[in-house]
Chain A
Amino acid sequence: QQQVKQSPQSLIVQKGGIPIINCAYENTAFDYFPWYQQFPGKGPALLIAIRPDVSEKKEGRFTISFNKSAKQFSLHIMDSQPGDSATYFCAASMAGNQFYFGTGTSLTVIP
């Protein structure tokens, strides 16, 4: 059973656009929701993370929106650039011991 559902599987946007990637979870015991960015042949890099006591977190051009009642969270990338082209994984964790990853979204930003 997929603990974290991620959509879309792939996404193509023009430079300057705002891609949005969505994730949903069922287990209300999750208390940490990170996003990872992965370039081909590289390991995932922690991008931004949120805890369920806040509804939004911004770091530079990256924003997480969190809806606790709907059990959904999303990543928004403002003013997207070709260098943002990568695979993005959402994840959820309880007590930090094990991460449940979404299936990934392949983002392509066209110049």
Chain B
Amino acid sequence: DTEVTQTPKHLVMGMTNKKSLKCEQHMGHRAMYWYKQKAKKPPELMFVYSYEKLSINESVPSRFSPECPNSSLLNLHLHALQPEDSALYLCASSQAATTYEQYFGPGTRLTVT
């Protein structure tokens, strides 16, 4: 099973709202990632968690706050977003941060109004 699940599938939020994106994997992977993807562009790395600790933060604004409660679960908390933050948010996992095969989830389509 190489499945990464993400909820919700779609999310519309106002600029003053607080919402969270959820990602789950049951492959025993110890590295999890958040990417942001704009239309017709490649994914851009936001955060990397390795063994439940944040190992990479690609200078992401503080209105995005990641959390890794356990090795299977990854959250992305959203607060005071801007319309330009509208994008497809992708979660991925790999066996470890130093292994190569990354498996992506289907993404959450976020619209900020």
Q: Give the segment of A14-22, A41-49, A67-75 that binds chain B.
A: A41-49
A40, B51: Cα distance in complex, Å: 31
A91, B94: Cα distance in complex, Å: 15
Q: A93-B100, A98-B56 are in contact. Are A41 and B41 (CB under 8 A)?
A: no
A101, B41: Cα distance in complex, Å: 9
Count of chain B residues with Cβ under 8 Å from any Cβ of A? 26
Min Cβ gap B66→A in Å is 16
Instruction: Give the interface SS of chain A, mostly helix, strand, loop or mixed.
Output: strand
A60 at the interface (CB under 8 A from B): no
A101, B90: Cα distance in complex, Å: 14
Contact B48 A97, beta carbon cutoff 8 Å = yes
A45, B94: Cα distance in complex, Å: 13
Q: A46-B103, A97-B48 are in contact. Are A41 and B109 (CB under 8 A)?
A: yes
B101 at the interface (CB under 8 A from A): yes
Contact A101 B43, beta carbon cutoff 8 Å = yes
A36, B100: Cα distance in complex, Å: 13
Contact A43 B106, beta carbon cutoff 8 Å = yes
A85, B106: Cα distance in complex, Å: 18
Contact A96 B94, beta carbon cutoff 8 Å = yes
Q: Which of B42, B48, B88, B105 has the most chain A CB within a 10 Å cutoff? A: B42
A36, B6: Cα distance in complex, Å: 19
A32, B98: Cα distance in complex, Å: 11
Q: A93-B100, A96-B94, A98-B45 are in contact. Are A43 and B105 (CB under 8 A)?
A: yes
Min Cβ gap B3→A in Å is 11
Select which of A32, A43, A45 is within 8 A of B100 by beta carbon. A32
Question: Which B76-113 residues sit within 8 Å CB-CB of chain A?
Answer: 88, 90, 92, 94, 96-107, 109
Q: A95-B98, A98-B56 are in contact. Are A43 and B45 (CB under 8 A)?
A: no
CB-defined interface of B21-44 with A at 8 Å, one 1/0 digit per residue? 000000000000000000011110
Rank and list the top 9 A-B pairs by shortest CB-CB distance, nearest first.
Answer: A101-B42, A43-B104, A96-B100, A32-B100, A44-B104, A43-B107, A43-B106, A96-B98, A43-B90
